[in-house]
């Protein structure tokens, strides 16, 4: 990330969102909404003095620690590891920006006078030749499955929360502690929370088995606690993955083949996991000090709003749809728009690197050629027949048709060849190349000759 | 209002509007008969008539396209205005360059046309008459069995001489190339024209465009009751998609937009 | 007496229903040979003219098959199909052709069993209705 931040050809627009995309491959015009940081990035050194001085001491849940710690309204994101290393003021938390009442201690505290409450939102317009979407994922919210009692005890954690707990930059500097501040003696890890589940997501989230094994390994290593891992299958599909699974077994983790069905919070806060040990055919109940829910990766919650901005579609699971699941997993059906990483489907790091590198290579290849090869099965207007009624303009899902001097015109780079315009035109003034009405009628007559 | 005083008022309205327009389209009676005419400043308006009913919006459209700067007025009945709405929506008439001088049809005319709205919204002359009844043929039609329906249309369509009068007179049939003349869909050289393609292609095209002006039926030399079929389509268009052609210039063509803009109002069992 | 074998023209969209038919074939699920497939890229390509032409050319039944709503490979081509076909069905009924001879169904690429079921049911329905030529006399 730091390398990307330093590269002269990479221009980072942080705290920004794409509002609008128009154009087509090689000629996209993008409007980006740059939100105000209320910090002048040319002056800010990322020292964090504003955060220390911030009057809102109670703060809000820190997103970077998955809610396990709190931060103030002024802060340097990612626990001081942001790229670029600059502060930002959260305009939903800041007392001055929300209520107009604050001593604004941050203004004085900043050694370079970088804080600027006058900053406004800006629209940045960019002309680009290709777009790569790498918007990532969201963790499944276990509150949707009440059996796991998530939220009813501070010692029931989801996958990302445990990552933060065991991270050296996290809320406990990497020590695995229960909410009572002690090392746990018994930990349960439950697989497939929010995946492989008709009540949540049917798909397998691919990464959870391996990260659950990693969590088990970390617990054993750092605390020596007993670990019970409740699983349906162990999906250790990658290079050295099976070997790691064997190692974790040898480290003494108890693997119980049976979906963790329920987490109870009993009197005094005692956590109990109930499951069926399907190998033995008996129900089991285990009292533990900490439960880690191996939660699934899900599409970002705004994926349904983001997809139409780029003219792409989503799969049934909600992730952005690839052009072909096997042969073109990082292309979309919109030329010039590519997918990188978990926004397309759950992926771990090696898969994401491969996927993203492929998308980057495809962009380079596109630019290197300087030409786009398009499918010949596009629509074409027969200008003499067109009376400019505009129905075709309305039906095109790709906005590939426009009226030019009163007649329709198809942008062959945008046209995907669906033919809906052809069926809509009452004059037959648009034809579908290689799928013409005459060809189809010939087929109709041909099959009925039987 | 008597007919002559209605006419006098219309002529007066036309005369006043000619001060700011390049011309007004209306019917003119001359020695050879009645025909659409472009009345201009200084013309004798005593020859301006309003009968027989004729779809003048087609003339407006032709002039708008031929002369991109021309500013016109038109003497219009309710159906003319509805026709204008659907034509304007489809870029055939420029609303910025048209002044509608609307007048109300009489109660007798409303009955003759089975018209549900015998006056334009931009009403300048006359008082709205009550709506005419629904065509009794349409009213009986639902009770007919499938065989009876087929027999009804078989006897009607066999009379068709493919004069294309229905298409030629229809204000909404402004296409340069017509599907009914497209050899891909309609085999050429057959009389009576091929069933069901010839007649139903037109009916499907009319589904989102027919404004019930009745000109097709009035023109048909074989007296085929085409409006029965088109009234049934209009009824479906309203029930299924909530769309009435000619009612609202801002309503987008329902068959062309996505379901979130114009949803289906009935479960069609897919 | 030769038993009537329905001839059914089935317009199938390339990405969903045509792939669904393929899926049925690969899974060895029986589908009647009365179904005569015509591949189009999207069900939105199927115009009312095309359906009428199929009836005119001798089809006893017409199936229009596309992607489920929300799954259209071209985003919303099937929205237009969903609006056109019910209107056309009713219109057929108004001129005395049994509207059940035209059917719109959504079949996705993985729904081989659904393809087999829908085509079998539709063929039986048309067999019961009899040949179109018995309902109308072509001139």
pLDDT (tens digit per residue) in A86-102: 999 999 999 999 999 89
- Is B264 part of any domain? no
- The pairing of strands A156-158 and A74-75 is unpaired
Nearest-angstrom CA–CA distance, B186 and B181: 7
Kindly state whether C45 is in contact with chain A, defined as any CB-CB distance less than 8 angstroms: yes
Q: Indicate the residue of B150, B179, B241 with minimum beta-carbon distance to C83.
A: B241
Count: domains in chain C: 1
Q: Taking CB atoms and an 8 Å cutoff, what residues of chain A touch C47?
A: 422-424, 437
pLDDT surpasses 60 at C138: no
Torsion of CA A388, A394, A395, A396, to 10 degrees: 90
Nearest CA-CA distance, residue B112 and chain A, Å:
30
Would you give the DSSP letter of residue A324? B
Give the residue from B91, B197, B210, B259 with the most A CB atoms within 10 Å of its CB, the best one to mutate: B91
Residue that is written with structure tokens 């018994």 in the block: A186
The 3-state secondary structure of A341-399, one letter per residue: HHHCCCCCHHHHHHHHHHHHHHHHHHHHHCCCCCCCCCEEECHHHCCCCCHHHHHCCCC
Specify the pLDDT at position C1. 58
Residue where a domain stops, chosen among B70, B97, B125? B125
| Cβ C45 vs Cβ B220: under 8 Å | no
| pLDDT at site A316 | 80
Of B170, B172, B174, B169, the closest CA to residue B62 belongs to B174
CB contact under 8 A, B90 and A389: yes
Q: Which residue of B has its CA nearest to C100?
A: B269
**Interface B:C, Cβ pairs < 8 A:** 113
Q: What is the CATH number of the domain that holds C17?
A: 3.40.50
Q: Is residue B195 part of a domain?
A: yes
What's the confidence (pLDDT) of residue B1?
54
CA–CA dist C96, C91 (Å, integer): 9
Domain assignment present for B230: yes
Task: Answer yes or no: is pLDDT of A298 > 70.
Answer: yes
What are the DSSP calls for B154-222, one per residue? HHHHTT-----HHHHH-TT---SS-GGG-TTTS-TT-SSPPTTHHHHHHHHHHTTT-----HHHHH-TT
Contacts of A162 (CB under 8 A, 6+ apart): A215, A292
Whether C96 and B149 lie within 8 Å, measured CB to CB: yes
Pair A332, A131: CB distance under 8 Å: no
CA B137 from chain centre, in angstroms, equals 20
Please state the domain count of chain B: 2
Q: Which residues pair with A18 in a beta bridge?
A: A32
Q: Is there a single domain that holds both residue B95 and residue B24?
A: yes
Q: Which of A390, A394, A428 sits opposite B177 (nearest CB)?
A: A428
Strands A226-231 and C35-40, bridge-based pairing = unpaired
Q: Listing from the earlier edge strand, what are the strands of the sheet with A290-295?
A: A156-158, A290-295, A186-193, A226-231, A254-257
The three-class DSSP label of residue A204 is coil
Closest approach of chain B CAs to the CA of A431, in angstroms? 12
Question: Does B47 sit behind a cis peptide bond, omega within 30 degrees of 0 on the bond before it?
Answer: no
Among B102, B125, B148, identify where a domain stops. Answer: B125
List pLDDT tens digits, range A105-123. 999 999 999 999 999 999 9
What is d(CA B226, CA B228) in angstroms, rounded to the nearest whole number? Answer: 5
Is A241 a residue whose pLDDT tops 80? yes
Give residue-wise pLDDT tens across range A392-448.
Answer: 999 999 889 999 999 999 999 889 999 999 999 999 999 999 999 999 999 999 999
Residue C28 lies in a domain: yes
Q: What are the φ/ψ torsions at residue B91 (nearest 5 degrees)?
A: 65, 25
Same structural domain, B66 and B98 = yes
Claim to verify: residue B91 and residue B145 sit in the same structural domain: no
Please judge whether C105 and B270 are an interchain contact, meaning their C-beta atoms are less than 8 angstroms apart. yes
Domain shared by B198 and B108, yes or no: no
Residue with tokens 């990405």: C15
Within 8 A of A428 by CB-CB distance, chain B residues are: 177, 179, 182, 184
C1 in any annotated domain: no
* DSSP annotation of B9: H
C135 domain-assigned: no
Same domain? B120 vs B140: no
CB-CB neighbors (< 8 A) of B256 in chain C:
80
Give dist(CA B6, CA B167) in Å, integer.
31
Residues A352-372: pLDDT tens digits?
999 999 999 999 999 999 888
Cβ distance of C82 and B270 shorter than 8 Å: yes
What pLDDT sits at residue B3? 64
**A270-299: average pLDDT:** 97
C107 is a domain residue: yes
Range of the domain at B18: 3-125
Looking at every residue in chain A, the average pLDDT score rounds to 95
Predicted-assembly ipTM surpassing the 0.90 threshold = yes
Give the residue from A148, A153, A146 showing the smallest Cα distance to A294: A148
Q: Return the closest-CA partner of residue C64 out of C49, C89, C85.
A: C85
Q: Look up the domain containing C101 and give its range.
A: 8-128
Residue C139: the pLDDT is 45
The mean per-residue pLDDT over the stretch A150-174 comes to: 96
pLDDT tens, N- to C-terminus, chain B (270 residues):
566 899 999 999 999 999 999 999 999 999 989 999 999 999 999 999 999 999 999 999 999 999 999 999 999 999 999 999 999 999 999 999 999 999 999 999 999 999 999 999 999 999 999 999 999 999 888 899 999 999 999 999 999 999 999 999 999 999 999 999 999 999 999 988 988 899 999 999 999 999 999 999 999 999 999 999 999 999 999 999 999 999 999 999 999 999 988 999 988 888
Q: How many CA atoms lie within 13 A of C123 on its CB side?
A: 19
Q: Is residue C113 part of a domain?
A: yes
Please check whether residues B41 and B117 belong to one and the same domain. yes
Question: Per the domain annotation, does B100 fall within a domain?
Answer: yes
Percentage of chain A lying above the pLDDT 90 cut: 91
**Closest B-chain CA to C132:** B196
Q: List chains touching C (3+ CB pairs under 8 A).
A: A, B
What is the pairing mode between strands C8-13 and C35-40? parallel
**Whether B16 and B107 share a structural domain:** yes
Residue B263, in any domain of the structure:
no
Residues in CB range of A46: below 8 A, 6 or more apart: A76, A80, A82, A84, A85, A86, A87
Last residue within a domain, chosen from B125, B151, B177: B125
Same-domain check for residues B109 and B164 = no
Q: Is position B265 within any domain?
A: no
Residues counted in chain B: 270
Residues recorded for chain C: 139
Average pLDDT of chain C is 93
Place of tokens 């064997």: A246
What is the maximum span of chain A, computed from C-alpha positions, in angstroms?
88
Chain C residue with CA closest to B152: the answer is C95
Token digits of residue B77: 């009945």
Report the distance separating Cα C123 and Cα C8, nearest Å. Answer: 7
- The first and second tokens of residue B51, run together, are 């009968």
What is the chain A residue with the closest CA to C76? A397
Picking from A308, A313, A387 by the largest number of B CB atoms within 10 A of its own CB, the best residue to mutate is A387
C62 at A interface, C-beta within 8 A:
no
B114 with B179, same domain: the answer is no
Q: Is B115 helix (H, G, I), strand (E, B) or coil?
A: coil
Encoding tokens for residue A99?
């209520």
Phi, psi of C4 (to 5 degrees): -70, 125
Contact A394 B252 (CB under 8 A): yes
B187 and B111 assigned to the same domain: no
More confident residue, A303 or B195: A303
C97 domain residue, yes or no: yes
What is d(CA A252, CA A229) in angstroms, rounded to the nearest whole number? 11
Give the CA distances from residue A233 to residues A147, A189, A230, A288, C128, in Å, rounded to whole numbers and listed in that order.
Answer: 20, 14, 9, 22, 50
Cross-chain residue pair C82–B256, CB shorter than 8 Å: no
Q: What is the mean pLDDT of residues A115-142?
A: 97
Residue C62 lies in a domain: yes
Q: Do A391 and B178 touch (CB under 8 A)?
A: no
């Amino acid at each position: 990330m730091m390398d990307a931040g330093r590269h002269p050809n990479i221009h980072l627009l942080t705290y920004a969102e794409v509002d609008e995309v128009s154009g087509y491959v090689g000629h996209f015009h993008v409007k980006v909404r740059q939100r105000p940081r209320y910090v002048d990035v040319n002056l800010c050194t990322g020292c964090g003095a504003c955060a220390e001085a911030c009057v809102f001491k109670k703060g809000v849940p820190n997103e970077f620690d998955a809610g396990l710690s709190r931060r103030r309204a002024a802060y340097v994101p990612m626990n001081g590891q942001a790229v670029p290393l600059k502060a930002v003021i959260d305009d939903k938390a800041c007392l001055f920006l929300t209520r107009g009442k604050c001593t604004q201690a941050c203004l004085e505290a900043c050694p370079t006078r970088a804080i600027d409450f006058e900053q406004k939102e800006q629209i940045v317009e960019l002309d680009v030749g290709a777009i790569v979407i790498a918007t990532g994922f969201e963790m499944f919210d276990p509150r949707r499955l009440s059996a796991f009692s998530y939220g009813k005890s501070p010692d029931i954690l989801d996958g990302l929360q445990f990552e933060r707990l065991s991270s050296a930059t996290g809320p406990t500097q990497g020590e695995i502690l229960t909410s009572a501040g002690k090392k746990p003696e018994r930990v349960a890890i439950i697989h497939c929370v929010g995946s492989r589940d008709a009540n949540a997501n049917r798909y397998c989230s691919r990464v959870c088995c391996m990260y659950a094994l990693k969590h088990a390994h970390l617990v054993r290593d750092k605390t020596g606690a007993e670990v019970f891992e409740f699983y349906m299958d162990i999906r250790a599909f990658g290079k050295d993955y099976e070997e790691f699974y064997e190692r974790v077994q040898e480290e003494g983790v108890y693997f119980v083949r049976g979906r963790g069905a329920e987490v109870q919070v009993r009197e005094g806060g005692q956590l109990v996991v109930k499951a069926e040990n399907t190998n033995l055919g008996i129900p089991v109940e285990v009292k533990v000090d900490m439960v880690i829910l191996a939660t699934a990766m899900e599409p970002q919650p705004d994926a349904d709003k983001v997809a139409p901005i780029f003219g792409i579609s989503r799969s049934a699971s909600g992730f952005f749809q690839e052009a072909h699941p096997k042969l073109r997993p990082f292309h979309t059906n919109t030329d010039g728009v590519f997918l990188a990483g978990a926004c397309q489907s759950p992926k771990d790091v090696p898969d994401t690197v491969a996927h993203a590198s492929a998308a980057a290579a495809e962009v380079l290849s596109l630019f290197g050629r300087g030409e786009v090869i398009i499918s010949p099965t596009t629509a074409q207007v027969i200008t003499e027949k067109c009376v400019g009624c505009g129905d075709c303009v309305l039906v095109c899902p790709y906005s590939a048709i426009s009226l030019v001097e009163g007649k329709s015109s198809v942008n062959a780079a945008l046209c995907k060849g669906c033919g809906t315009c052809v069926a809509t035109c009452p004059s037959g003034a648009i034809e579908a190349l290689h799928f013409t009405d005459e060809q189809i009628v010939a087929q109709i007559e041909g099959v009925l000759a039987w | 209002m008597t007919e002559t005083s209605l006419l006098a008022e219309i002529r007066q309205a036309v005369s006043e509007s000619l001060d700011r327009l390049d011309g007004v389209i209306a019917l003119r009676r001359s020695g050879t008969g009645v025909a659409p005419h472009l009345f201009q400043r200084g013309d004798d308006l005593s020859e301006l008539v309003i009968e027989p009913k004729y779809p003048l919006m087609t003339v407006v459209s032709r002039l708008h396209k031929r002369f991109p700067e021309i500013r016109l007025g038109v003497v219009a009945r309710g159906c003319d205005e509805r026709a204008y709405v659907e034509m304007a929506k489809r870029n055939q008439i420029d609303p910025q360059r048209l002044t509608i001088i609307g007048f109300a049809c009489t109660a007798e005319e409303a009955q003759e046309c089975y018209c549900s709205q015998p006056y334009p919204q931009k009403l300048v002359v006359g008082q709205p008459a009550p709506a005419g009844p629904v065509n009794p043929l349409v009213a009986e039609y639902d009770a007919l069995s499938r065989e009876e329906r087929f027999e009804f249309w078989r006897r009607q369509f066999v009379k068709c001489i493919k004069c294309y009068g229905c298409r030629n007179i229809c204000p909404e049939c402004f296409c340069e190339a017509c599907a009914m003349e497209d050899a891909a869909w309609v085999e050429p050289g057959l009389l009576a024209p091929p069933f069901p393609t010839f007649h139903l292609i037109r009916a499907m095209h009319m589904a989102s465009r027919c404004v019930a002006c009745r000109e097709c039926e009035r023109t048909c030399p074989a007296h085929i009751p085409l409006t029965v079929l088109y009234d049934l389509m209009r009824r479906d268009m309203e029930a299924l998609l909530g769309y009435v052609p000619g009612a609202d210039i801002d309503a987008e063509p329902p068959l062309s937009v996505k379901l979130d803009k114009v949803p289906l109002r009935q479960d069609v069992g897919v | 007496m030769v038993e009537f074998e329905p001839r059914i023209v089935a317009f199938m969209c390339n990405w969903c229903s045509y792939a669904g038919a393929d899926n049925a074939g690969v899974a060895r699920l029986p589908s009647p040979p009365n179904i005569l497939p015509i591949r189009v890229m999207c069900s939105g390509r199927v115009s009312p003219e095309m359906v009428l032409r199929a009836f005119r050319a001798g089809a006893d039944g017409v199936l229009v098959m596309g992607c489920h709503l929300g799954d259209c490979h071209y985003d919303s081509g099937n929205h237009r199909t969903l609006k056109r076909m019910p209107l056309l069905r009713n219109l057929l009924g108004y001129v005395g052709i049994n509207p059940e001879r035209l059917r719109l169904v959504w079949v996705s690429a993985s729904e081989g069993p659904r393809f087999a079921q829908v085509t079998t049911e539709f063929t039986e329905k048309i067999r019961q209705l009899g040949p179109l030529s018995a309902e109308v006399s072509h001139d």
